[in-house]
Amino acid sequence: MEQRSPLACRTIGIYIGKMTDRSSWPSPARPIPMDALSEVLQDFRLSGVNYGRCELRHPWSMEFPQQSLLRFHFVGQGPCWIHTEAQGWQELRDGDLALLPQGIAHRLSSAPDVAGGSLDDCRVTKLGSNVCEVVREGTGATSTLFCGSMALGACALNPLITLMPPIIKGCDVAGNDPVVGPLLAAMTAEAAQPQMGSATILSRMADLLTARLIRCWVNCTGASTTGWLAAIRDPNIGRALAAMHRDPGHNWTLESLASLAGQSRSIFAERFSAVLGEGAAHYLARLRMQLARELLGQNGLSVAEVATRLGYDSEASFARAFKRITNVSPGVVRRTIPGRIDMNFGF
C-alpha cells in the first residue's frame, strides 16, 4: 500500500474530494453499520449523461456501441426489438424497460429483419442540456421510446455491476418490487401523451426506476459463500469492504481493516482471501486503480493531478503502481480516454 496522504472519496455519482477532517474517517470508535451492503448502496446516485425521447416510424434500426456507461431503453409504444451478440433478438413490448448495466453493444430495430440504419437517419432536437428529441419520418407504425445513458460511481459499484447480467428487463423483476410496476405504468402514460416538461419528468422517473431495478436484482440474487456479494453481506468482512469503498484513498493497513471487522489480523486476512479470492491489500490496490482509470479517462485529469488526488507522494510512485496493476501506463490511458462515449449515441 504505497499511499501516504489521506483521501476521502465519495465515488457514487462520480464525486471525488479530499477530506479535511480526520474525525470523519471510519474507525473502530465510529463503526460502519452492520448492514454493509446498505452502506454501499445508501448513497446510490445516477448521473444522467444524456436522454432521448424517440418517435421512430417503421422501418428503423439503430446501433449502440459498447460503452462504459449504463444504458436503458424504455418502450412506451412498439414495435421494438433489441439484439445482443449473446442473446440474439428479443422483443420489447409496450411498457418494457431494458437495462444494460455494462453498456454492452446492441441494436434496436422495429423488426429483426431491418438492416443498417443509424442516428444519422433521424432529426435530433435538443430540449435541454441533457435531453433531446429524436424523430425518424416514415410511413409505418410509430415506436415511442425513451432511452438514456447513466454514469455510476465506478469505484463503489463496479464490483456489483460486473456481477449483473448483460440485460435486465423491468417486467421480469416487477413482481419482486411493488414500486416497479406503477413506475413503468407512469412512464408509459407520460411517453404516450407528451406535454411540456415530459422529457425531464421521464428522466427523473428513469433514474428512480434504474436504482430500484438494481436494488431489486441484488435482493433477489441467491446467497453465495464466495464472491463480492458474499463478502459485502458478511457481518465482519463486509464492514471492512464497505470502508474501503467509502474511502479508497485512506492509508488502510491490515490492522485497521481487521479492527473494523472486529477480528484479529490473521483471522481477517484468512477470511477475506477465502471469500474474495485475493488478499485485502491486492483488492484495495485494484480498487484504487479503477478509480485512477476513471479519473484519467472520463475526467481527463493529468497524471500528476490524479496522483495527488489519490494521495501518492509522487507521480512516479503512482505510475509504477498503476502500470503494475493495469499493465499500461497512466499516460496511455489518459491519451486514449477510454470510456468516453460518442455523444451522438449518448442517449
Containing 207, the helix (H) or strand (E) segment is helix 198-220
Residue-level pLDDT at 300: 67
Cell for 284? Answer: 484495495
DSSP string, 249-300: TS---HHHHHHHHTS-HHHHHHHHHHHHSS-HHHHHHHHHHHHHHHHHHTS-
Residue holding cell 402514460? 189
**What is the chain's pLDDT, residue by residue, as a tens digit (347 residues)?**
444 433 333 322 222 232 223 333 333 334 444 477 777 766 566 666 678 889 999 999 999 999 878 898 999 888 999 999 989 999 999 988 899 988 999 999 999 999 887 788 888 888 777 788 899 988 899 999 988 888 765 455 677 788 888 998 887 777 778 888 888 888 888 877 767 777 778 878 887 888 788 878 877 776 677 888 889 888 899 999 988 888 887 889 999 999 999 999 999 999 999 999 999 999 988 888 888 887 887 666 788 888 887 777 889 988 999 999 989 998 888 876 544 434 344 55
- Residue 77 contacts residue 192 (beta carbons within 8 Å): yes
**Closest C-alpha among 112, 134, 110 to residue 123:** 134
State the amino acid at position 117 in one-letter form: G
Residue-level pLDDT at 220: 76
Residue-level pLDDT at 346: 55
Cell for 303? Answer: 497524471
CA distance 307 to 300: 13
Cell for 293? Answer: 482509470
Residue-level pLDDT at 203: 77
Question: What is the number of other CB atoms lying within 10 angstroms of the CB of residue 220?
Answer: 11
Containing 319, the helix (H) or strand (E) segment is helix 315-326
Residue-level pLDDT at 69: 82
Question: What is the number of other CB atoms lying within 10 angstroms of the CB of residue 139?
Answer: 7
State the amino acid at position 69 in one-letter form: L
- Residue 232 contacts residue 37 (beta carbons within 8 Å): yes
Cell for 242? Answer: 464497505
Domains along the chain with CATH numbers: 22-34+235-336 (1.10.10.60), 47-220 (2.60.120.10)
CA distance 344 to 282: 38
Residue-level pLDDT at 21: 34
